[in-house]
Structure 1
Amino acid sequence: MQADIEIYVLSCPTEKIISWLENTFTLVRKSSPSPLCSKVIIASNDNEIEVTILEQAAGKRFTSIWFDSDKTPWDDDIACARQAFEYLNCEVRCNFQGWEEESNQDPDQWWRINSHEEGPFIWN
């Protein structure tokens, strides 16, 4: 189980991301602390999970979706990315493996899902 889940979506409107969350979970609360940042609280299996949606998180075209909880329904970032891609139909990227301190993984090694392919790649 991962401490949190974070994925990046390419050129995907925040409203569409929130729609995915509303269709997948129970939306408890929604706020917009800044023009580029939205926060939602979702309920999943009797757990409330804070989700931060940050536009322009990686360059101007990528939006970060960060689930700040170890109680998400996914085993890892890739499982979340797959579900997001199915609903959002836009390219999704995430860490290739869960981030671990002292791990030997390449920090530029990512997982990408789009309409052409799914698999590891170097994002730099």
Structure 2
Amino acid sequence: MMERYPDIEVYIASVSHDTLNAWLAETLLAAPLSPAGKGKWKTRGIYQGGDVPVLLVENVADGFASLWFDSANTPWMTDQECAQHAAEALQTEIRCSLGGWHPGADPDRFWQVLPGGKEGAIEWPDSGR
């Protein structure tokens, strides 16, 4: 059986706050994102009775925003499951780490998920740019 990650983080290509708020409300019963500092937004959701703090940090890399669910109590076991769900729900590209981080892991290997189910491993940031 797959082990549940202690938190979930995905990277989202451009999406409006309205679209993201609608998805967070539907998925986690979360209130709309509210300002939490320069380029940062936060909210709290609930999943199966447990609290799920959510943090959005805009423009962390190559125009992607980081969306962090600071809880193991989410609808997803892994970052990849969240990325797959988010790509379809938000109709935008989502990226995530290839697995749980551990010493010696390649920090530039990510999983890319596109709407429509196309996905695969990528190098990010792309050293060819």
For normalisation by structure 2, the TM-score amounts to 0.85
Structure-1 residue corresponding to 2:106:
106
Q: Does the 8 Å CA contact 1:96/1:111 hold for their aligned counterparts?
A: yes
Query: Structure 1 pair 24/3, CA: closer, same or farther in 2 (3 Å)?
Result: same
Whole-Å Cα distance in 2 between the matches of residues 34 and 15 of structure 1? Answer: 19
Structure 1: which 4+ aligned runs deviate by more than 3 Å? none
- Quote the Cα distance in structure 2 between the aligned partners of 1:17 and 1:2: 22
* Map of 2:119 onto structure 1: 118
The alignment covers a number of residue pairs equal to 121
Instruction: Map residues 19-38 of structure 1 onto 2, 5 A cutoff.
Output: 19-28=22-31, 30-38=33-41
Contact 1:29 1:42 in 2 (8 A): no
Contact 2:25 2:31 (8 Å CA) reproduced:
no
- Secondary structure of 1:20's match? helix
Q: TM-score, structure 1 length as denominator?
A: 0.88
- CA distance in 1: counterparts of 2:101 and 2:69, whole angstroms: 14
Matched, 1:16 2:19: yes
Quote the RMSD (CA, aligned, Å): 1.7
1:49 deviation in Å? Answer: 0.5
Paired residues of 1:2 and 1:76 also in contact (CA < 8 A): yes
Where in structure 2 are there 5+ consecutive unaligned residues?
A: none
Structure 1 or 2: more strand by fraction? 1
Deviation string 1:58-110 (CA, Å, 9 cap, x unpaired) is 13x2111000011112110000001101110100000011212x2x4311110
Looking at structure 1, the residues matched to 33 and 12 of structure 2 have their Cα atoms a distance apart, in angstroms, of 20
Q: Report the alpha carbon displacement of residue 19 of structure 1 after superposing the two structures with TM.
A: 1.2
Q: Report the CA distance shift for 1:122/1:42 in structure 2 as closer, same or farther (over 3 A).
A: same
Structure 1 position 51, deviation (Å): 0.3
Question: In structure 2, which of residues 89, 95, 98 is the aligned counterpart of residue 96 of structure 1?
Answer: 98
Matches within 5 A, 1:36-47: 36-47=39-50
Query: Deviations along 1:4-52, whole A, 9 cap, x unmatched?
Result: 1000011112221121111112125742123521101000000011000
Runs (5+) with no aligned partner, structure 1: none
